[in-house]
Structure 1
């Protein structure tokens, strides 16, 4: 029985306990929040610097690089990718040139980014679910919309509070209603907990607890708490993305799937390649924003849009392959 339990527990992780807990479950986020809270704005701004330039920016810019290295995915949806690329290059540039500002595009970015965050968190939860099994298609669909709805609500609730404060009536009732979603789903995860679902349960609990905390910060009207929590959320999202990409690269390498010669050479050295990419892009982003801010903001916004769009297509194709 002990051997069977250990085997079941081993199957609970996408990679292994240390990797999953550190990079996917992101168990360190509460400590990061406490560090920022106790350290004040000075510590928070320092953490934000590293988060923006060396975590968030690389996680966005790596998506097009992966797409063009994995040429088979590009070829499978060539027309879609060409259309997306042309639209997302020309429309933002046209808006910037014609209006001289990025205000409307930043609004689109916030909304699209909110959906992207929700979709990614649910996507990783689904990967855990497919690995452990035992989830019916009906439950999977319900979980998808419940989880995404709550995550989207919190993100849009933050925007509403930042814009209009708490003067709009009815938020209290909505906050309570939406808060029941993660609480109920977490209780179900713990009720149905088995050795092989530990990774899924911990990941889901970590994500939902963070978003519940952000909702709580809005309800408590605490700007500083919300600031440190949103920084933790941005780090959580970007780190798990880089981690799941690395997991996918390793799976591709082990499976021997057809891909480009360049990617075949890079995959065995992926950890080193990723580290170099992060350092170079982070330093470049900092220098660009310091000396060419307008150009950098425009380029980074375009890359964010490409990241959202490409990412959806890439992971849909991966799901089709793995299911």
Structure 2
């Protein structure tokens, strides 16, 4: 789609309203709330209650302190936390698709280096080159460091070398085992393509958002859905009528509806109180006054961003907990 519509997707620095609603609200913001099914909504109580209480509290306090000091400092920390989360998700999916392989230490090491190269190099390019028509969250949320330009020459060579090393490893592995891990290869290839073309090759908000949001948000929601459906049914889950309705064969609609409603409500509050940029799709929230006071914004902005920051932090725990494995 990005290749077929170059003027609209590759160069444009703006997002059409409907496209923004689908990508940002119904996919990007909605996927944040899917964490609820693994944590706060989950009758299994797999994670410690103390963790579920302290993580949002700490995130909010740190957010208020950062925003009070400097608004861009708040958005910068949140942006880098998001980047870390996005990168780690790709690594996590790679490990998920490799869990049944016994390919050996060096093959696994090459996989690890490849997935991190696919994600970190485009971010390095973004920092060194800087001339991008898009931001992660807000303008100037990334440090632009032209002094790192010399690293790009080295990075270009390493980028190609690592791709070749991965391809050679796959050929050797196939000759030895006569097996080809299609999901893992699709994931790694897709990560290389989406991050390279979304950030480096094309310089447009539509291209970046399309490739970045869809390849991150939809797989994450799918993982939550599949993981919770596969789990055995202890007494707490078996007695929970709502949980059985959501995670049965036809419950996907309920699952997604909850996410979409919560995402729309959050973005409506953002637009009504802070941005005032999409009045046509958040008419119910148009009556809310735009907050101008810096001290009040330092309390409201971290609160509205709390689902996001909590999602980033908790995601580091919910897939490692022994009692919450897939």
Q: TM-score when scaled to structure 1?
A: 0.73
SS in 1 for 2:102: coil
Q: For 2:29 and 2:40, how far apart are their aligned partners in 1?
A: 18
**1:172 Cα offset (Å):** 2.1
2:223 is aligned with 1:244: yes
Q: Supply the RMSD in Å over aligned alpha carbons.
A: 3.2
The structure in which a higher percent of residues are helix is 1
Listed one character per residue, the Cα deviations across residues 54-91 of structure 1 (whole Å, up to 9, x for unaligned) are 100011122134301224344x4333333323211222
- Name whichever of 189-198 and 262-271 sits farther off: 189-198
Match of 2:126 in 1: 158
**1:205 Cα offset (Å):** 1.2
2:201 is aligned with 1:205: no
Match of 1:298 in 2: 302
The gaps in structure 2 that reach 5 residues or longer are 131-142, 275-290, 292-296
**1:236 Cα offset (Å):** 0.8
Match of 1:256 in 2: 233
Match of 1:84 among 55, 61, 66: 55
SS in 2 for 1:316: coil
Asked if structure 1 preserves the Cα contact closer than 8 Å seen for 2:28 and 2:217, the reply is yes
**1:53 Cα offset (Å):** 0.9
- Name whichever of 117-126 and 194-203 sits farther off: 194-203
Q: For 1:175 and 1:45, how far apart are their aligned partners in 2?
A: 34
Asked if structure 1 preserves the Cα contact closer than 8 Å seen for 2:35 and 2:311, the reply is yes
The gaps in structure 1 that reach 5 residues or longer are 1-30
2:96 is aligned with 1:127: yes
Match of 1:281 in 2: 262
The structure-2 alpha-carbon separation of the partners of 1:300 and 1:189, relative to structure 1 and needing over 3 Å to count, comes to farther
Asked if structure 2 preserves the Cα contact closer than 8 Å seen for 1:147 and 1:181, the reply is no
Asked if structure 1 preserves the Cα contact closer than 8 Å seen for 2:246 and 2:255, the reply is no
**1:241 Cα offset (Å):** 0.6
2:27 is aligned with 1:55: yes
Q: For 1:249 and 1:68, how far apart are their aligned partners in 2?
A: 13
Q: TM-score when scaled to structure 2?
A: 0.72
Asked if structure 1 preserves the Cα contact closer than 8 Å seen for 2:25 and 2:260, the reply is no
- Name whichever of 64-73 and 37-46 sits farther off: 37-46
Describe how 1:34-73 pairs up with structure 2 within 5 A. 34=3, 36-40=5-9, 41=12, 44-46=15-17, 47-73=19-45
Q: For 2:230 and 2:50, how far apart are their aligned partners in 1?
A: 27
SS in 1 for 2:103: coil
**1:311 Cα offset (Å):** 1.0
- Name whichever of 191-200 and 229-238 sits farther off: 191-200
Match of 2:277 in 1: none
Aligned residue pairs total 280
Asked if structure 1 preserves the Cα contact closer than 8 Å seen for 2:91 and 2:116, the reply is yes
Q: For 1:187 and 1:227, how far apart are their aligned partners in 2?
A: 34
Q: For 1:258 and 1:120, how far apart are their aligned partners in 2?
A: 31
Asked if structure 1 preserves the Cα contact closer than 8 Å seen for 2:34 and 2:224, the reply is no
